Chains A and B, each alone.
Chain A
Amino acid sequence: MEENSNPVYKDQRYGQSRELLYSYDENGQYKKDVGFHGEPDRIILQQAWDHFNDRIEDARRRVIAGKVSPIVYYMEKFLADPLNLSMMAGISIWKVKWHSRPGVFKRLSEKTLKKYADAFNISIEQLKKVE
């Protein structure tokens, strides 16, 4: 294979850190080089982040339209699903799903809001609004 060495990736957004990568050449030697990840690795990473950003943007639009509560936006921003969020905040998964309705969210107690805010590492005021 021609691309056994690790080509330097030019894009500044995804080229900040160098890693140690191993490779195996035709002479039967294992090699260690420090380098950036190659192009294919970047493509798949970019694909994942495009997917996550789409989900975040979609959630933001739905929150502004008043269809879901801000919890859904912050959950997507934290790359979590309801199960993950329930583990992070210590609230059962059914309740997390129930709290994603805007009407229910408005009536939540300070204590529950605090749990969510702590899980997202933001203040309660921030939790209530989505810009």
Chain B
Amino acid sequence: METKTMIDYTHRQAGHCESGATSNLLRFYGVDMSEPMAFGIGNGLYFSYIPFLKVQFAPMISFRNLPNTVFHRGMKYLGIDATVIKKFKDPKEAMLALDQNLEKGIPTGMQVGVFNLTFFPPEYRMHYNMHNLVCFGKEGNLYHISDTVMETAHVLTYDDLLRVRYAKGVFAPEGKMYWINHVPNHLDIRSAVSVGIKKTVYEMIKIPFPLIGVKGLRWMGRDLRKWPKKHGVEKASFYLGQVLRMAEDFGTGGAGFRYIYGAFLKESGEMFNHAELLEAAEMMGKTANKWREFTYIGARNCKNRSKPQEDYGMLGDMMIEIAGMEEQVYKKLDKIKL
């Protein structure tokens, strides 16, 4: 049975998988929204440091919110009618629902695990279950996939897609899928941006728990100083590597999303002609450059090429400085009225 359904969907590359998927889906429905805008409205920015949970043999560090936050919140704040199905018990049913959607001409986003994705570069294949991609066509046994981290669109077979949609482990996707039903004619972007900024500020500085947001950054900075004494040099270097990998390598657009968020502030500042937002964008850009500097020094440290004064104590101080700089940005954003 040869069936062919293709939806006229443009693949655009993006820095982050989920905000990229959200902005591409919106573009399909005629809303021209850039990736940073989708990211900022949907509260992509986050930080949590959980030292007692180990992921890939190192403490768990997350620069992103729970899976599907960007899409779900973005749609909610913009007032767009969208459907999110959290899980399917039966894998076959999940694939059938996807086929039906494609026949109706709806490009559908899915949460998948990275480890078994065949087109992914092998060095990034780790047990990471919060990846997102959009399926926009089917040809016999092959599905056309737009993965925004990659440069071009790819194909996956039925079995491969089923395997990644039912990857096991922490935050298992369980066949989660989402799509847009209907976009209203007029979108109130101004209020969506306002609500999005409020929520992000809340998550970064106001949650009364020490391991989340800016407090988490400070906690990590203090821990960083102790790592060589506590775990030995080799393990400390591996842990530091994990922090930097999470911030730079895994599709964050650089510096743990700080660049994307800054770009969002800049774009919305220009859109509403708001001087304070532009100022905040500048501060965020400086913070992001500081993050990148942290990566350079940290990577030198991992390779044992650092100068003697660039040890873990200095890196810890730098992290605490970054936390201070970020806190200034969020406090500024908190006072802004849109």
Residues of A participating in the B interface, judged by any CB pair closer than 8 Å: 1, 3-4, 13-14, 16-24, 28, 30, 32, 34, 37, 39-41, 43-45, 47-49, 51, 78-81, 84, 87-88, 90, 119, 121
Q: Does the CB pair B262–A30 fall under 8 Å?
A: yes
Q: Does the CB pair B238–A22 fall under 8 Å?
A: no
Q: Give 8 closest A-B pairs by Cβ, nearest first.
A: A40-B299, A22-B259, A24-B285, A30-B263, A88-B168, A44-B241, A22-B253, A17-B121
Q: Does the CB pair B151–A17 fall under 8 Å?
A: yes
Type the 1/0 row for B11-23, where 1 means its CB is closer than 8 Å to any CB of A: 0011100000000
Type the 1/0 row for B29-49, where 1 means its CB is closer than 8 Å to any CB of A: 000000010000000000000
Of all chain B residues, the one with the shortest Cβ separation from A21 is B254
Known A-B contacts A22-B253, A22-B260, A44-B249; the reply to A79 vs B56 at CB < 8 A is yes
What B residues does A79 contact at CB under 8 A?
A: 56, 115, 126-127
Residue B237, interface by CB 8 Å:
yes
In the complex, A17 Cα to B54 Cα: how many Å?
28
Interface size of B in residues (CB-CB distance below 8 Å): 52
Chain B interface SS verdict (over half): helix
In the complex, A7 Cα to B237 Cα: how many Å?
24
Other CB < 8 Å A-B pairs besides A24-B288, A34-B151, A47-B302, 20 of them? A17-B151, A18-B151, A20-B14, A21-B253, A22-B15, A22-B253, A22-B254, A30-B281, A40-B298, A43-B302, A44-B298, A45-B123, A45-B245, A47-B237, A47-B241, A51-B238, A79-B56, A87-B169, A87-B170, A88-B168
What A residues does B116 contact at CB under 8 A?
A: 121
Stretch at the interface among B66-74, B214-222, B289-297: B289-297
Residue B150, interface by CB 8 Å:
yes
Q: Does the CB pair A23–B254 fall under 8 Å?
A: yes
Q: Does the CB pair A44–B302 fall under 8 Å?
A: yes
Q: In the complex, which of the residues A28, A37, A43, A44 has the most CB atoms of chain B within 10 Å of its own CB atom?
A: A44
- Nearest-Cβ distance from residue A34 to partner chain B, whole angstroms: 6
In the complex, A41 Cα to B255 Cα: how many Å?
11
Q: Does the CB pair A24–B262 fall under 8 Å?
A: yes
Q: Does the CB pair A19–B251 fall under 8 Å?
A: yes
Known A-B contacts A41-B295, A45-B123; the reply to A17 vs B57 at CB < 8 A is no
In the complex, A78 Cα to B14 Cα: how many Å?
28
B277-331 residues at the A interface, CB under 8 angstroms? 281-282, 285-286, 288-289, 292-293, 295-296, 298-300, 302-303
Q: Does the CB pair B299–A43 fall under 8 Å?
A: yes
- Nearest-Cβ distance from residue B304 to partner chain A, whole angstroms: 11
In the complex, A80 Cα to B299 Cα: how many Å?
25
In the complex, A119 Cα to B292 Cα: how many Å?
38
B131-174 residues at the A interface, CB under 8 angstroms? 149-151, 163, 168-170, 172
What B residues does A34 contact at CB under 8 A?
A: 13, 151
What A residues does B254 contact at CB under 8 A?
A: 21-23
Residue B64, interface by CB 8 Å:
no
Residue B197, interface by CB 8 Å:
no
Q: Does the CB pair A1–B289 fall under 8 Å?
A: yes
Within the complex, which residue of A19, A20, A43 is in contact with B303, where a contact is CB–CB below 8 Å?
A43
Residue B266, interface by CB 8 Å:
yes
18 pairs from A and B in contact (CB 8 Å cutoff): A1-B292, A14-B123, A19-B15, A22-B254, A24-B286, A28-B282, A30-B36, A30-B263, A30-B281, A30-B285, A40-B295, A40-B300, A41-B299, A43-B302, A43-B303, A44-B249, A79-B127, A88-B169
- Nearest-Cβ distance from residue A117 to partner chain B, whole angstroms: 14
Q: Does the CB pair B259–A24 fall under 8 Å?
A: yes
Q: In the complex, which of the residues B36, B169, B260 has the most CB atoms of chain A within 10 Å of its own CB atom?
A: B169
